[in-house]
Amino acid sequence: MSESVTALKKTPLHEEHVRLGGKLIGFGGWDMPVQYSGIIDEHNTVRNALGVFDISHMGQFFVEGAGSAAWLNRMLTNNVERLSIGQGQYTLMLNEQGGVIDDLLIYRISDDDWFLVVNASMIDEDYAWLEGHLADGVSLANRSDEFAGIAVQGPKSAAWFDAYMGGKCGAPTRNQIVHLDIGGGQTFIARTGYTGEDGFELFCPAASAVQVWNDVLTSGAALGIKPCGLGARDTLRLEMCYPLNGSDLSPERTPIEAGLGFFVDLQKPDFIGRAVLAAQKKNGPAVRLAAFKMQGATPPPRSHYGVYKDGAQIGETCSGGLSPTLSAGIGMAYLPVAATVPGTAIEIDIRGRRFPAVVEKKPLRKSKG
């Protein structure tokens, strides 16, 4: 999990992480906090109260120009025409074979003005792919270095927003984005997240990141806010079965196989990868990304462990880890469709020993409501 320290990039909040006692590791080329108080403690804080994450490593692209909606609809699987101004959606960018290049969020800022948030490790690749397919009259800008990102997540997020804004502005609704003048510049605040809890993602100018981060901590203090690292971010998203690109998504797997068909609009005009997806949708994919839960006391599953059924290997784990909420090992794996039925008994090979697991319905963490 750790990478060489030499070439790691630092976010504008790096010094704050050190000051707060964060434990830093290499992630996608960035020197990022994996934890502060502890992964399980931070996980439970987000599930029960409020946590704040540095997501400055993520990339921000801007697309504008007449014809941008049609072009984006050709590049992405979801339908951007469904977005009203100020709304966002989860979407995927595919290669010609229907495989996933990246998954991202896109927000409509005005009729022909779009804000995209992409994965940190994919910024250069995404930009090159988009630029290579650019249409006349559409402009693309990678402004990732200009922005810091701060995610506030947890059931107390709405109360935090009111405390932070001092009641001066209503909170955006789910998937909505607002553009505010705070923290010394233009800041986007979207009602979204990667934890399965209510929450916000703030994208502010890099120069005001430290001020915004500390204002967030101050305004959340009475609500029990804690800084959280990538470790908790991973366990939180895994319980929700949100895919992580590079682990659960890859250029060899389609969104249909990943169970993300909801974010693919086969009715809109042609988009890159569509033909493969349409055929898969019609004929049914051979494999699907299934979620599983270990049975009894077992080591937590990790990536690339063999998955067995009736003594034969049927796949390999993608993501895996311990679920603090369920107190059990959980994971995801692409399995033959027949084996993805909830209740199917499988085994996970952990260091040469096979441990029992059961395929479960996604998400693994059922919401309290």
Partner 1 sequence: MNIPDDLRYAESHEWLRADGVVGITDHAQHELTDVVFVDLPEVGKVIEAGQVACVVESVKAASDIYAPVSGKVVAVNEAVRSNPALVNTAPYGDGWLFKLELNDPASREKLKNPDEYRAQIG
Told to check if 4 binds partner 1 by CB under 8 A, we report: no
The stretches of 88-177 forming alpha helices (DSSP H) are: 123-132, 157-165
- Cβ proximity to partner 1: between 301 and 315 the closer is 301
Told to check if 23 binds partner 1 by CB under 8 A, we report: yes
- Cβ proximity to partner 1: between 34 and 93 the closer is 34
For partner 1, the binding residue among 231, 259, 285, 331 (CB under 8 A) is 231
Alpha-carbon distance of 329 to 283, in angstroms, equals 33
Told to check if 300 binds partner 1 by CB under 8 A, we report: yes
The stretches of the chain forming alpha helices (DSSP H) are: 14-19, 39-48, 68-75, 123-132, 157-165, 209-220, 230-239, 274-283
Residues 326-345 that bind partner 1 (CB under 8 A): none
Least spacing, CB of residue 110 vs partner 1, in Å:
42
Alpha-carbon distance of 6 to 24, in angstroms, equals 13
List of residues 6+ apart from 40 with CB closer than 8 A: 235, 324
- What burial class does residue 151 get, using C-beta atoms within 10 Å of its C-beta: 0-12 exposed, 13-18 middle, 19+ buried? buried
Told to check if 1 binds partner 1 by CB under 8 A, we report: yes
Per-residue contact track with partner 1, 65 to 104, x per CB under 8 A?
Answer: ----------------------------------------
Which of 161-167's residues contact partners 24+ apart within 8 Å by CB, and which partners?
161/200, 163/219, 163/220, 163/222, 163/223, 164/215, 164/216, 164/219, 164/220
Phi, psi of 14 (to 5 degrees): -55, -45
Told to check if 363 binds partner 1 by CB under 8 A, we report: no
Per-residue contact track with partner 1, 244 to 283, x per CB under 8 A?
Answer: ----------------------------------------
Per-residue contact track with partner 1, 108 to 147, x per CB under 8 A?
Answer: ----------------------------------------
Name the segment binding partner 1 (CB under 8 A); options: 3-11, 89-97, 164-172, 292-300: 292-300
Binding site for partner 1 (CB under 8 A): 1, 23, 34-35, 38-40, 231, 235, 297-300, 302, 321-322, 324, 351
